[in-house]
Structure 1
Amino acid sequence: MRFTSVAAAAAMTLTSLVPASLPARADSTTIGAIYLDDVGFYAAVRKGIQDAATAQGREVSLLETNARADPGAEGSFIDRLISASAKAIVLSAVSSDGSVRAIRRAHDAGIPVVCYNTCVNDDAMKKYVYAYVVADPKTFGEKLGEVAADYFIAQGIKAPKIAVLNCEFVEVCTLRREGFEAALKARVPDYQIVSNQRGTVLDQAVSISDQTISAHPDVNAFFGEGGEAGVGAVRTIKQRGLAGKIVVFGADMSIAAAQELADNSIMKGVADVSGQGIGKLALEQALNGADKKPIGSLVVPMTISIFKTSQDGKTWLDAHKDGLS
């Protein structure tokens, strides 16, 4: 999961928004798509959705926007999609509770809603959502926690001090941390979380990680829950000349994350889910909903990938020249 600055997000809104008030072609299937961001993971999701739409044996019209992690913007665009008689909506919900009313309005208007990556709370999801495409966030955290535990045990660090750079304004990130801690608790039970602060955008992650090291100079590692958190922590550690003393375990692959993993002096592991794969699955589910197919399994699972060696980073870079996972 990735997040970006308001300025960058606004740029996407201006360049990619298709006005929902315009009528779609009579022979096309109109699908609304809402993203939280315009880079990294969400750029990959967008490409997956667009490629999947192009590959269909029929005309699919996409009406897209970037919600900028703003429930109000998300709700306003959903209302525009309702007015435009969209056949389905694909979105990464901004808030598990704050997004419910808008998603309910779409449901009540007869428009199937497909969540990806983030969704509304369980009760609302069961009532108003057609499908939820997601990699299990606790498993995601557990897999990365296993990598961290392997590192601490190999280094003889029995009571590691860990700082978290979080994205816990969405529930997925809280669950990622819970999974990460569960893996540590099983194998390095004396670990300690010394700090847990929001830091998903690069500049924010750099600033918060710098403050954290000042407050906790004995910190052993950072866990970046999503976005550019891990890369930001690496940058701070380099600036302070602490490579080899503090390491980072991050979420979400990008060119920068892969480059740091390839270097392997600070970044020791990255967990990732293919954004393009999620986008493709989400679009397929949206078309199923548009075609009035019965709801199958509410949760549609995605594979989680773990990268933990220098060669893993180099291989990823060779396979993803555009930086999209």
Structure 2
Amino acid sequence: MVAALTALCMALPANAQSQADLITPVEDELTFVFIPKVIHPWYDVVREGGQFAVDELAKSGIKVEMIWDQPPTADVADQNRRIETNIGRQPDGLAVACLDQATNTQLLREAKEAGVNVYTFNSFCDEEFPFVGQRDSYGDGYDLGKYLAEHLGGKGKIGILAGSLTATDHVERIQGFKEALKEYPEMEIVFEQPDNDILEEAVALTENALQAHPDIAGFFGSNASNPIGAARAVKNAGKTGEVAIVGMDDLPEAVDFVCDGTITALKAQRQWDIGYWAVKYMVAMNQNHTYPMDHNTGSRLITQDDCGE
């Protein structure tokens, strides 16, 4: 036995590889392309977080160019063209907020096969790709459904502004919201329409719903635009405090509507964190560091209690 151990030790290299040798130093400037679902103020905050990470990395000698290639509208074909074009440009990192799970997933596989480091953010695409953002969109919808139902005493007609019908986060929020309302048999969904993440459409749809259902008691907005659109329409109709609104995210105008009582509650994601960590993780990919497949940045409830005097 001693002889066998001695022979094994002699066969090993004199110096085992250090784990530090597994890391690839970044010497050239890195290029990261972000492709969101649409041009939107929500993504401006993601970009701010990303820029903070870029500036932080520059202090340590790592240069990153962050490019945002943003579709003007939430159009699946347009977003996919941008993904295809950027695969051909071979960036050091490609971050995509999936607008259409099926077609986006296929293109992201092509990007990986082409040697592009892929990250997904904001809207989940597939377990195959690392993701940073709020994973529990269903839970956000459910929480807002429960909050609205309890606020209304478990009774009333409800409208839903459905955002983009192919975006997984919008779809899952609506599913969660509807599941919560199943517990309240005296609540009825009388209106449900997609606004395609366009604020003006959300305003017009809410106006139509108010006219068609004068006794409507509340609205649910599945994205960052439509709670604002609903609030503008409700306020213009003189129904602030009479018609309740719940929805997503904390854009400044939405928070103002919470504080003046037009919006009842919001669930806000942490999009600054999303941008910050997306940049950090794509650098890690280029350095051959480990990185998480699922970084859930979560969300928080905002009500009038959170407003200062």
**What is the TM-score normalised by the length of structure 1?**
0.79
Aligned amino acid, residue 146 of structure 1:
K
Q: SS at 2:182's partner residue?
A: helix
Q: Distance in 2 between matches of 1:138 and 1:285?
A: 25
Deviations along 1:142-199, whole A, 9 cap, x unmatched?
222232133122xxxx43211001113312111111222233333x343211111012
Q: SS at 2:259's partner residue?
A: helix
The aligned residue for residue 48 of structure 2 is 47
Q: Distance in 2 between matches of 1:107 and 1:72?
A: 20
After TM superposition, the structure 1 = structure 2 runs for residues 277-296 of structure 1, keeping only pairs within 5 Å, are 277-294=273-290, 296=292
Q: Distance in 1 between matches of 2:275 and 2:185?
A: 37
2:80 pairs with 63, 75, 79, which one? 75
After TM superposition, the structure 1 = structure 2 runs for residues 1-325 of structure 1, keeping only pairs within 5 Å, are 27-56=28-57, 57=60, 58-68=62-72, 69-120=74-125, 125-127=126-128, 129-153=129-153, 158-167=154-163, 168-186=165-183, 188-199=184-195, 200-264=197-261, 266-294=262-290, 296=292, 298-309=293-304, 311-314=305-308
Structure 1 portions without partners, runs of 5+: 1-24, 316-325
* CA gap 1:209/1:52 in 2 versus in 1, 3 angstroms: same
Tell me which moved more, 254-263 or 277-286.
277-286
Which structure has the bigger radius of gyration?
2
Aligned amino acid, residue 276 of structure 2:
K
* CA gap 1:72/1:178 in 2 versus in 1, 3 angstroms: closer
Q: SS at 2:266's partner residue?
A: strand
The aligned residue for residue 21 of structure 2 is none
The aligned length equals 278
Q: Please report how far the alpha carbon of residue 235 of structure 1 lies from its aligned counterpart in structure 2 after TM superposition.
A: 1.7
Q: Distance in 1 between matches of 2:149 and 2:159?
A: 15
Deviations along 1:191-214, whole A, 9 cap, x unmatched?
211111012322111111111122
Aligned amino acid, residue 257 of structure 1:
A
Contact 1:258–1:314, Cα closer than 8 Å, also in 2: no
Deviations along 1:193-247, whole A, 9 cap, x unmatched?
1111012322111111111122212210011111321121122122222233211
Tell me which moved more, 273-282 or 31-40.
31-40
* CA gap 1:288/1:261 in 2 versus in 1, 3 angstroms: same
Contact 1:113–1:131, Cα closer than 8 Å, also in 2: no
Contact 1:147–1:308, Cα closer than 8 Å, also in 2: no
Aligned amino acid, residue 72 of structure 1:
A
Q: Percent identity?
A: 22
Q: SS at 2:69's partner residue?
A: strand
Q: Please report how far the alpha carbon of residue 280 of structure 1 lies from its aligned counterpart in structure 2 after TM superposition.
A: 1.1
Contact 1:131–1:295, Cα closer than 8 Å, also in 2: no
Aligned amino acid, residue 36 of structure 1:
K
* CA gap 1:202/1:70 in 2 versus in 1, 3 angstroms: closer
Q: Please report how far the alpha carbon of residue 302 of structure 1 lies from its aligned counterpart in structure 2 after TM superposition.
A: 1.0
**What is the TM-score normalised by the length of structure 2?**
0.82
Q: Distance in 1 between matches of 2:233 and 2:120?
A: 35
Structure 2 portions without partners, runs of 5+: 1-25
Aligned amino acid, residue 236 of structure 2:
Q
Q: Distance in 1 between matches of 2:87 and 2:175?
A: 37
Contact 1:252–1:271, Cα closer than 8 Å, also in 2: yes
* CA gap 1:130/1:274 in 2 versus in 1, 3 angstroms: closer
The aligned residue for residue 11 of structure 1 is none
Q: Distance in 2 between matches of 1:272 and 1:159?
A: 26
* CA gap 1:256/1:50 in 2 versus in 1, 3 angstroms: same
Tell me which moved more, 221-230 or 82-91.
82-91
* CA gap 1:135/1:119 in 2 versus in 1, 3 angstroms: closer
Q: Please report how far the alpha carbon of residue 83 of structure 1 lies from its aligned counterpart in structure 2 after TM superposition.
A: 3.2
Q: SS at 1:272's partner residue?
A: strand
Q: Please report how far the alpha carbon of residue 294 of structure 1 lies from its aligned counterpart in structure 2 after TM superposition.
A: 4.5
Aligned amino acid, residue 140 of structure 1:
D
Q: Distance in 1 between matches of 2:108 and 2:76?
A: 11
* CA gap 1:63/1:237 in 2 versus in 1, 3 angstroms: closer
Aligned amino acid, residue 67 of structure 1:
P
Q: Distance in 2 between matches of 1:244 and 1:79?
A: 47
Aligned amino acid, residue 52 of structure 1:
A
Contact 1:95–1:119, Cα closer than 8 Å, also in 2: no
Q: Distance in 1 between matches of 2:64 and 2:47?
A: 14
Aligned CA-pair RMSD: 2.2
